[in-house]
Every structure is written in structure tokens, then in C-alpha cells.
Amino acid sequence: MRRVRVLLPVVTLALVILALVELSGGRGVSAQAPVAADPAAVFSGAAEQALDAMAKEATARQMKGVAVIAFVPGDATRSWASQMRVVDAFILGQANVLGIAYAKMSEMADTLENSGSGKRPPHHGELGYKGGAIRKVTGGHLLAAFSGGKDTDDLDVANLGLDLLEGALRAE
């Protein structure tokens, strides 16, 4: 009986410690400052919300088309994580607005400025269209483009997506 009285608190303490380790994601309990969130992971988590908001805004403006968002890690484009959403249709008359949206994104990936900025003449494959926006954030760049409406409306929808993504990064 004496062994049970001594063993029970020890086993209980061990289970509490294991539970704390599990709750902390297996990293153990630490007094260290939290590690800054990975911007690419935050982007992935916020991407659906940003695309939902962009699609809702485009629909409210009676626009059809394509929303694209991306996160480029670092100071130069070598890779990106991106997502795309079709809002009703991506072929509008004779225009493939999916291709136009990606042309806006590719221009921004090179210039690190909003699409159609006029920083340089468009390269082959680029169109020089406005409607894409880019922002420098900690750890890289956020890009967003919409294609399907007037360039000013496209840019408003793109900036809405960037606002949400940037807010998510700041919140982490």
C-alpha cells in the first residue's frame, strides 16, 4: 500500500509533464521567446480568406475573372507559393483572363513593382496591364492580381487581397 501512495503522485506528475509537452507541440516547455512565424506558412493559412474576400468583392462589383495571390520569399524571385481562384469564368469573350492575371504576376515577380508600372517596357509574355499589386513584407513579398474588370477595379480587388494577407502576417 505504501508503494501505491508514493508511486501514484510520481506517475501523476509524469503524466502532467507529458501532457504539457504534447500541448506545446512536442517542443517542451521553455522560457525562450517565441520564434517568429514563417511568412510562407502564414500565407498558406490566410490564402483562402484572401481569395474569398477578393471573389466576394469582384462579385459585388459584377466582375467575372481570376484572382491570383502569391508569396515570394526573400528579396528576389526564385520561387513562390501561390493560389488562384476563378470568379465565375476565366474566358470572357475572346480574352483568357487567367493568362492575363498570370502575365501581371510575372511582371511583378521581375520588377517588384505593381503591374503596368511602366518601369520598363513589357518583356515577351508580359502585357503591361495594370491590376496587380505587390508589397514588401518581412521575409519576402506578397503579390496579388485580378483580371476581368477595368484596371482600376482589378487593382482595388488585388489590394483587398493584399490587405488581408498583410494583416495576417502582422497578427503572427
* Nearest-angstrom CA–CA distance, 53 and 119: 29
Q: What is the pLDDT of residues 144-156, one digit of tens each?
A: 999 999 999 999 9
> Cα separations (Å) of 53 from 13, 48, 69, 103?
48, 9, 12, 22
Average pLDDT in the 80-106 region?
A: 97
Q: Which domains does the chain have, with CATH numbers?
A: 1-34 (no CATH), 39-171 (3.30.450.150)
DSSP H stretches of helix in 61-146:
97-111
Average pLDDT in the 99-125 region?
A: 96
E strand segments, the chain:
65-73, 81-87, 91-92, 95-96, 132-137, 140-147
* Nearest-angstrom CA–CA distance, 43 and 48: 9
* Nearest-angstrom CA–CA distance, 152 and 172: 31
**pTM (2 decimals)?**
0.78
26, pLDDT greater than 70 = no
Report the mean per-residue pLDDT for the chain. 85
47, pLDDT greater than 70 = yes
Q: What is the predicted pLDDT for the residue at 38?
A: 85
Q: What is the pLDDT of residues 120-143, one digit of tens each?
A: 999 999 999 999 999 999 899 999
